[in-house]
Amino acid sequence: MEFTAAIIAGFLKGEIEGNPETVVYTVAKIEEGQEGALSFLANPKYEQYLYTTRSSVVLVNKSFVPSTSVKVTLIRVDDAYEAFASLLRLVDQSRPRKKGIHPTAVIEPTAKIGSDVYIGPYSYIGENCYLGNGCAIYPHVYVGDNTRIGKNSTLNPGVKIYHDCVLGENCTIHAGTVIGSDGFGFAPQSETEFMKIPQIGNVVIEDNVEIGANVAIDRATMGSTIIRRGVKLDNLIQIGHNVEVGENTVIAGQTGIAGSTKIGKNCMFGGQVGIVGHLKIADGTKIGAQSGVPGDIKKENSILTGSPAIEHRDFLRSSIIFRKLPDLKMKVDNLEKDLVSLKGK
């Protein structure tokens, strides 16, 4: 596929600086550009590469002012990062879709399969399942009995969805993720023995959710573990039983959320965040990487960092003191010696 700068600018409603007939046929990072490539510049720390890149066209923000002359053709847009992302979506959507049902796939007779569906080799679709129109089920996927999957959703290789779960429309689940495995529920019987509590609920995932690779979302003990519409989950995340994740929340990798915690909408969690069970996290909360959250967050749009997590500004002030602790200890030790000397006199 080839596009001129003029076509790209028209699609993005951008302004061209340079040759509108410049042709691009691939995309590349600005620091790894090559002739015929389209790149973007959004982060100021990469500006140096704009003047040396071999890319043919670069997207920049309308507010960007170069510090020296630029050889490449520029397309000015409101948000270069967002514009580049929309072009990547266009390229991705132009790829040919797989269709048809592979002869090695096992589909139980009571399952209902929509039109224009792809079901890859060695996949299993259980009793009374429903797959909406346009779904893509890649090789070695397991879909348990009574599970419903909305239209245009994609399960990548090796995804496992246990029985009775619900997946909405336009969802993407990446390889190795397990949805609906048992919640971590055991009742102590003695100091050394535990009795398993049956997990008879399910997992409900609403529309337009994307879940990364090797994520585990536990089924509810009773009721549902719920992932609301628009949620984006990174790789290697653990979500416990009866958790609810609010709309359009974004969670980075290796985060763990213990059972029955309710997370508000439009939250953002960094990597390796740990949240204990039975908490309520207010809408718009932002939590920095490697933070530990031991209690409710009641104030909307809070920004927290650290373990235990505290307000971000307080954490920054505290970090200055952390760095000075060795010097402060030495001063205290010296003061104690002086006091002992004065008492001796």
Facing residues of 245 across strands?
Answer: 227, 263
- The count of other CB atoms within 10 Å of the CB of residue 209 is 24
135-140 contacts at long range (C-beta below 8 A, 24 or more positions apart) = 136/97, 136/98, 137/105, 139/102
The set of catalytic residues is: 241
Measured CA to CA, the distance from residue 179 to residue 163 in angstroms comes to 9
Structure tokens at 36: 């015929």
Q: What is the separation of C-alpha 42 from the centre of its chain, rounded to a whole number of angstroms? A: 21
DSSP category for residue 297:
B
Measured at the CA of 205, the angle between CA 187 and CA 226, to 5 degrees, comes to 40
SS3 8: helix
How many C-beta neighbours within 10 Å does residue 207 have? 16
Q: What is the pLDDT of residue 90?
A: 82
Same domain, 213 and 246: yes
Q: With beta carbons less than 8 A apart as the criterion, state whether 205 and 229 touch.
A: no
Note whether 61 and 150 are same-domain residues.
Answer: no
Q: What is the CA radius of gyration of the chain?
A: 27
CA atoms within 13 A on the CB side of 197: 13
Final residue before a domain boundary, out of 93, 114, 135: 93
Dihedral of alpha carbons 124, 130, 134, 135, sign: negative
Name the residue with tokens 């055991």.
Answer: 186
Structure tokens at 20: 């509108």
Is residue 118 domain-shared with residue 227, that is, in the same domain?
yes
Among 43, 58, 93, residue at a domain's last position: 93
pLDDT at residue 342, rounded to an integer: 85
User: How would you class 109 by CB atoms within 10 Å of its CB: exposed for 0-12, middle for 13-18, buried for 19 or more?
Assistant: exposed
Domain of 332 in residue numbering reads as 320-345
What angle (nearest 5°) sits at the alpha carbon of residue 84, between those of residues 82 and 79?
A: 40
Say what the pLDDT of residue 10 is. Answer: 94
Q: Which residues lie below 8 Å from residue 73, measured CB to CB, with a gap of 6+?
A: 5, 16, 17, 18, 19, 20, 22, 56, 57, 58
Are residues 278 and 131 both part of a single domain?
yes
pLDDT of 273 reads 97
Within this chain, do residues 89 and 109 fall inside the same structural domain, yes or no?
A: no
The CATH number for 231's domain is 2.160.10.10
Map tokens 């690779």 to a residue.
Answer: 213
Question: Which regions in the chain score pLDDT beneath 50?
Answer: none
Do residues 195 and 59 both lie within one domain?
no
End position of a domain, from candidates 93, 108, 133: 93
Total tally of structural domains belonging to the chain: 3
Residue 324 and residue 224 in one domain: no
Looking at the fold, whether 167 and 267 belong to one and the same domain comes out as yes
Residues 290 and 154 occupy one common structural domain = yes
Is the domain of 156 the same as that of 53? no
CATH of the domain at 17: 3.40.1390.10
Dist. CA 326–CA 312, nearest whole Å: 23
CA distances in angstroms from 214 to 34, 144, 262, 310, listed in the order given:
34, 18, 22, 30
User: Cβ–Cβ contacts within 10 Å for residue 324, how many?
Assistant: 11
Q: Which residues contact 219 (CB under 8 A, 6 or more apart)?
A: 162, 164, 165, 180, 181, 182, 183, 199, 201, 202, 203, 225, 241
- Please give the pLDDT value at position 44: 92
Residue 256 sits in the same domain as residue 327: no
Residue carrying structure tokens 């609301």: 228
Helix (H) or strand (E) run with residue 90 in it: helix 80-93
Q: What's the pLDDT score for residue 329? A: 87
Single-letter residue type at 224: S
Q: Would you say the C-alpha torsion 195, 201, 202, 206 has a positive or negative sign? A: negative
- Within this chain, do residues 131 and 271 fall inside the same structural domain, yes or no? yes
